[in-house]
Each structure stands twice: as structure tokens, then as C-alpha cells.
Amino acid sequence: MGPAGAGKSTVGRALAAALGCTFLDADDLHSPENIAKIGGGAALTDVERGPWLDRVRSAIADATHAGDDTVVACSALRRSYRDRIARGLSGVRWVYLHASPALLAERLTHRTGHFAGPAILSSQLATLESPDDALVIPADLPVDAAVAMIRTALQ
């Protein structure tokens, strides 16, 4: 979890590969309307975000019921969003990729092929509630080092 540009998808894919499990990018579960709004630099309202959070939760629940371990990259910026995603599910662990605003801005400025660009950053940071129940990993670590730290903490 973390704001746009923290490296959730990059680290998540690498972690899933290292663990031999499935990777899910929650961005793929956004509606076309949400993608257009975020792509325009506007933050989603909680009403707009709600169905997406429910789709993320359903995907995790489906994987859990199938016995599949899954790494999910999801912003999950507020505690209420994390609670909604994890509601009734056992084994959900949060990893927060913590990054400075400057690093996030730099990454978003140079990122291509994604709908969330630099214009969304200020609203993401305003929404972010740092978790007190997550493993905190510095987002500026090399991917392999971040994956190693997460694996060690999860085992």
C-alpha cells in the first residue's frame, strides 16, 4: 500500500514472483470512469472509491477461498479503506511502501503508461493515513532489498 509512485506494482510483482504466488494490481479493478477521473488529476470521492474497494476485497476473498496466496498492490490510503478491504478475511498483511513526497513526484513525473500522474499526488498525500498495523518499507530501497525485507518479516 501507499500513494501513487511508491512502487507498489513493481515491488508487488517481484514479491509475488519470489514467493511463487499470484499478483493482483488493484488498479486493474478500477472502473473506466474512475480511471478517467484519476487520469485527469482528480481524486475519487469515497462514494466513487467504494465499489472499487469492494472489488479488491472480493478478489482477495476469491483467492483465499481457492487457497491461493496473493500479493495485491493497492493504494489503500485510509484506515477505513484497509478495514473495508480486509473485513472478514484472515491472513491479510499490510506492507506500506513509505516514500518522501519528492521521490513520489519524481517517479510520477517520469512514469509512462499509467493513468495516475503527478497531478494526483497532492490529493493522495492529503488522503494518506499512515498505518500503525503495517510493515513499513522504505520505497527508495532497491526492489530486491525491499522484497528481501518483506519476505523476512512475513516468515
Hey, CA dihedral for 64, 69, 75, 78, is it positive or negative?
positive
Grid coordinates representing 72? Answer: 495485491
- Bridge partners for 24 per DSSP: 72
Is 38 domain-assigned?
yes
Is 68 domain-assigned?
yes
CATH number, residue 20: 3.40.50.300
Which residues, in sequence order, are CB contacts of 113 under 8 Å at separation 6+? none
Which residues, in sequence order, are CB contacts of 136 under 8 Å at separation 6+? 96, 98
Is 34 domain-assigned?
yes
Is 118 domain-assigned?
yes
Look at residue 116 in the predicted model and tell me its pLDDT.
64
How far apart CA 104 and CA 107 sit, in angstroms, is 5
Look at residue 113 in the predicted model and tell me its pLDDT.
65
How far apart CA 49 and CA 120 sit, in angstroms, is 15
Is 1 domain-assigned?
no
DSSP assignment string, the chain: --STTS-HHHHHHHHHHHHT-EEEEGGGGS-HHHHHHHHTTPPPPHHHHHHHHHHHHHHHHHHHHTT--EEEE----SHHHHHHHHTT-SS--EEEEE--HHHHHHHHHH--S-S--GGGHHHHHHH----SSEEEEETTS-HHHHHHHHHHHH-
Residue 88: domain span = 8-154
How far apart CA 29 and CA 26 sit, in angstroms, is 5
Look at residue 25 in the predicted model and tell me its pLDDT.
94
Per-residue pLDDT tens digits of the chain, which is 155 residues long? 999 889 999 999 999 999 999 999 999 998 999 888 877 878 888 899 999 999 999 999 999 999 999 999 999 999 999 999 999 998 899 999 999 999 988 887 876 666 666 767 788 888 899 999 999 999 999 999 999 999 999 88
Is 22 domain-assigned?
yes
- Bridge partners for 95 per DSSP: 135
Look at residue 112 in the predicted model and tell me its pLDDT.
65
Is 3 domain-assigned?
no
**How many domains are there within the chain?**
1
Is 2 domain-assigned?
no
Look at residue 61 in the predicted model and tell me its pLDDT.
96
